[in-house]
Chains A and B, each alone.
Chain A
Amino acid sequence: MAIFPSREWVEAVLQAAEKSEKYKEAAKDWEGDFLSIIEGDEEFVRDLSRREVMEGFISFLDMMPSEARKKFKGTPMGDVFEKKLGVPLDTPADKFSIDEMTSMASKLSAEDIKGACTYFWSDFWHGSVRAMKPVAPGEHEDATFKLSGKYSAWKLMVSGRQDTIRLVMSNKLKLEGDMSYVMKHMKAVVALTKEVFAGVPID
């Protein structure tokens, strides 16, 4: 079981994509990167007050160079770190006190993290996932597609408990970009959820 989002989850997803013949076949014509935006919500606050989730989340952010992390300064997510969890953004990852942060997180409310977003960028190209990594606000804004939504909706998608189409159609996730391209490549989108994401169980 991996934590979403975490370094372990990213690595497992990359491996699952590499191994899945079904995904490779379904996505063989796909060209286009995605900027994914995960908005903090009640479930995120609840999950962060579990030590393993906080640890996973920090490992995810630690995949970003510390320079990039500084770009969160002044954003709602930056404020959560600096003001609510008491951790300056340039703190090296090994200096984070997971226990302390978990305990601080347990005092947060959904209101406290309103607007706080985590971003990750994935580069899907002809059946392979060339990159998947957390990014700072403003980075990869020119991605071909943007998928945004609350953390709880993202969890439903990456766990495979709900299909992407239902989440997007019911407005839980918002997809921006050339829709006619997406429609022509629905096989790739479905295979990414069914064969890749759902192949990495999350906690």
Chain B
Amino acid sequence: MYFEIDPKIREDKGLSLLREETHRFAEEVIRPAARKLDRMSDPEQVIAKDSPYWDVLKQMKKLGYHRIFIDPDYGGLGVNATEAHIILEELGWGSVGLTTAIGVDQIAPAVASLFAMGDVIEKIVKPWVEDTEAKYHGCWGVTEPECGSDYIMACEESFLPHVKELHPGEVRADKDGDGWVINGPKSSWISSAPTATHVGLHVTLPPHDNLANGAFCIVPLEQEGVTKGKPVDKLGLRDDPQGDITFDNVHIPDDYMLIRPPFYEFRIGQIICATSCFMGTIFTGLARAAFEEALRYSRERIQGGKPLCEHQLIKQKLYKMFEKVESSRCYTRKIMEHVWERIYIERTFDASSRHALSAQIYGKRSAFEVAYEALQIFGGYGLTKDFLIEKLFRDARAGLIEDGTTEVLGLAAAYNIIEEC
């Protein structure tokens, strides 16, 4: 465990207990399951009914981690930004893959809890928050085969004047009687798609001329017209399966359309602000895990007649890793507080996207840099499956692409910086 630099958090017994209990869960449940899932040679095994994936998901739901981002008035966990940050860093320490699974799970019900009324609350949000058996599981469908980074750029409000330069999008919703009909493919990269029962889906609306002329809706996936591809076999984050979803005349009722024009183009970036704090925080957890692994190993491994940590070169590496973990925690926590205030307290939905995006980039980049150096400290052993560090390194590498490449997130933030600063 780390020394908590903020006395308000350190001296708060409730927060210390929250940290310890979440850490215990991450250590005893998440991490062992994540390693098992990571070693499965076929991603189909990860999504099988008897996979540890489901045990962890159920336990996370029992502990209420699927309700962190849900409006407390509609069954949310009722945590504040600091508590959310503490929980997410610890879960990320256990596994960023499985924490991604519980993160994308709540995007659609969280949006519904913040903006919807009536039927969708009764039919979706209520059963979702009450679920402790992982009967409901969500994913987040943004990117498409032809629109990867383009979709990320289209979510930045300051980029709107240029949105027509991008691909116009493939998944379309058209009015159909009282409801909507959806057609088109989402990319192979939708986290948890192979296991999900619902998707929070980005669609374009007639005349389907650009990505900003869109909407965000919730779509039940267990219905006719939905096809899912095989889970992707990939380098990192193997404990959270990605896969594609294709829609062929899939119908949803009108009130499942949660964010529509004109709000979509101006406010969809707020979802990215929330997911960015989430990502920055869970990758801070990964950075810390990698740092701890390296520190421990450097104390045990003797080379040059003394433990590695007594060599100046390694000391310097350890210091730099420490600095990255601590600054990542401080920064992502501050930005989480800001985003939380604007979304959950003030309800003005005007969080600063340049800050939120930078928290995501900073957290992911720190995690990769720390995991890279940590693996180097392990030498050849770091490359073997015997040590956790190689998984952390692969997961951190995948993080630089998941939820937007760090380059493209930075590009989106730059538009906002130039317009607003």
In the bound complex, how far is the Cα of B347 from the Cα of A167, in angstroms?
Answer: 13
Decide if B18 is an interface residue (CB 8 Å cutoff). Answer: no
Are A187 and B116 in contact (CB-based, < 8 A)? no
Decide if A179 is an interface residue (CB 8 Å cutoff). Answer: yes
Q: Which of B314-352 contact A (CB under 8 A)?
A: 346-350
Please name the residue on chain A nearest to B112 by beta carbon: A170
- CB within 8 Å for A170 and B115 given contacts A179-B262, A180-B266, A183-B266: yes
Are A179 and B347 in contact (CB-based, < 8 A)? no
Decide if B118 is an interface residue (CB 8 Å cutoff). Answer: yes
Contact partners of B262 in chain A: CB under 8 A: 179
Contact partners of B350 in chain A: CB under 8 A: 183-184, 186-187
Contact partners of A168 in chain B: CB under 8 A: 263
Contact partners of B346 in chain A: CB under 8 A: 187, 190
Contact partners of A170 in chain B: CB under 8 A: 115-118, 255
Q: Report which residue of B114, B263, B347, B349 has the largest number of chain A beta carbons within 10 angstroms of its beta carbon.
A: B347
Q: Which of B110-151 contact A (CB under 8 A)?
A: 114-118
Contact partners of A190 in chain B: CB under 8 A: 346-348
Contact partners of A179 in chain B: CB under 8 A: 262-263, 266
Are A169 and B266 in contact (CB-based, < 8 A)? no
Segment with Cβ contacts to B, from A5-13, A52-60, A137-145, A158-166: A158-166
Are A165 and B349 in contact (CB-based, < 8 A)? yes
A-B contact count, CB below 8 Å? 43
In the bound complex, how far is the Cα of B117 from the Cα of A167, in angstroms?
Answer: 8
Decide if A146 is an interface residue (CB 8 Å cutoff). Answer: no
Q: How far is the CB of B257 from chain A (nearest CB, A)?
A: 9
Decide if A71 is an interface residue (CB 8 Å cutoff). Answer: no
Decide if A84 is an interface residue (CB 8 Å cutoff). Answer: no
Q: How far is the CB of A186 from chain B (nearest CB, A)?
A: 4
Are B117 and A186 in contact (CB-based, < 8 A)? no
In the bound complex, how far is the Cα of B114 from the Cα of A167, in angstroms?
Answer: 11
Decide if B414 is an interface residue (CB 8 Å cutoff). Answer: no
Decide if B258 is an interface residue (CB 8 Å cutoff). Answer: yes
In the bound complex, how far is the Cα of B219 from the Cα of A63, in angstroms?
Answer: 48
Are A166 and B348 in contact (CB-based, < 8 A)? no
In the bound complex, how far is the Cα of B118 from the Cα of A167, in angstroms?
Answer: 11
In the bound complex, how far is the Cα of B260 from the Cα of A170, in angstroms?
Answer: 9
In the bound complex, how far is the Cα of B266 from the Cα of A39, in angstroms?
Answer: 27
Are B118 and A169 in contact (CB-based, < 8 A)? no
Contact partners of A165 in chain B: CB under 8 A: 115, 347, 349
Decide if A50 is an interface residue (CB 8 Å cutoff). Answer: no
Q: How far is the CB of B401 from chain A (nearest CB, A)?
A: 30
Q: Which of B84-120 contact A (CB under 8 A)?
A: 114-118
Please name the residue on chain B nearest to A194 by beta carbon: B347
Contact partners of A172 in chain B: CB under 8 A: 117
In the bound complex, how far is the Cα of B258 from the Cα of A171, in angstroms?
Answer: 10
Q: Which of B157, B263, B267, B348 contacts A187 (CB 8 A)?
A: B348
In the bound complex, how far is the Cα of B121 from the Cα of A166, in angstroms?
Answer: 12
Contact partners of A163 in chain B: CB under 8 A: 347
Contact partners of B114 in chain A: CB under 8 A: 166
Q: Report which residue of A168, A169, A187, A190 has the largest number of chain B beta carbons within 10 angstroms of its beta carbon.
A: A169
Decide if B259 is an interface residue (CB 8 Å cutoff). Answer: yes
In the bound complex, how far is the Cα of B347 from the Cα of A169, in angstroms?
Answer: 13
In the bound complex, how far is the Cα of B157 from the Cα of A184, in angstroms?
Answer: 11
Q: Which of B115, B157, B348 contacts A169 (CB 8 A)?
A: B115
Q: How far is the CB of A74 from chain B (nearest CB, A)?
A: 32
Are B117 and A166 in contact (CB-based, < 8 A)? yes
Are B116 and A186 in contact (CB-based, < 8 A)? no
Q: Which of A30-76 contact B (CB under 8 A)?
A: none
Contact partners of B157 in chain A: CB under 8 A: 183
Contact partners of A169 in chain B: CB under 8 A: 115-116, 258-260, 263
In the bound complex, how far is the Cα of B114 from the Cα of A180, in angstroms?
Answer: 20
Are B348 and A186 in contact (CB-based, < 8 A)? yes
Please name the residue on chain A nearest to B121 by beta carbon: A170
In the bound complex, how far is the Cα of B258 from the Cα of A190, in angstroms?
Answer: 20
Q: Report which residue of B117, B258, B266 has the largest number of chain A beta carbons within 10 angstroms of its beta carbon.
A: B117
Are A183 and B267 in contact (CB-based, < 8 A)? yes
Contact partners of A187 in chain B: CB under 8 A: 346, 348, 350
In the bound complex, how far is the Cα of B267 from the Cα of A179, in angstroms?
Answer: 10
Return the CB mask of B214-236 against A: 1 if under 8 Å, else 0: 00000000000000000000000
Interchain residue pairs A-B with the least CB separation, the first 7: A186-B348, A169-B115, A179-B262, A183-B266, A170-B117, A186-B350, A187-B348
Q: Taking beta carbons and an 8 Å cutoff, which residues of A are in contact with B?
A: 162-163, 165-172, 179-180, 183-184, 186-187, 189-190
- Beyond the given A168-B263, A169-B260, could you list 12 further A-B residue pairs with CB under 8 A, ordered by the A residue number? A162-B117, A169-B259, A170-B115, A170-B116, A170-B118, A171-B260, A183-B157, A183-B350, A184-B350, A186-B349, A187-B350, A190-B346
Listed by A's residue number, 25 A-B pairs whose Cβ atoms lie within 8 Å are A162-B117, A163-B347, A165-B115, A165-B347, A165-B349, A166-B117, A167-B117, A168-B263, A169-B115, A169-B259, A169-B263, A170-B115, A170-B255, A171-B260, A172-B117, A180-B266, A183-B266, A183-B350, A186-B348, A186-B350, A187-B346, A187-B350, A189-B348, A190-B347, A190-B348
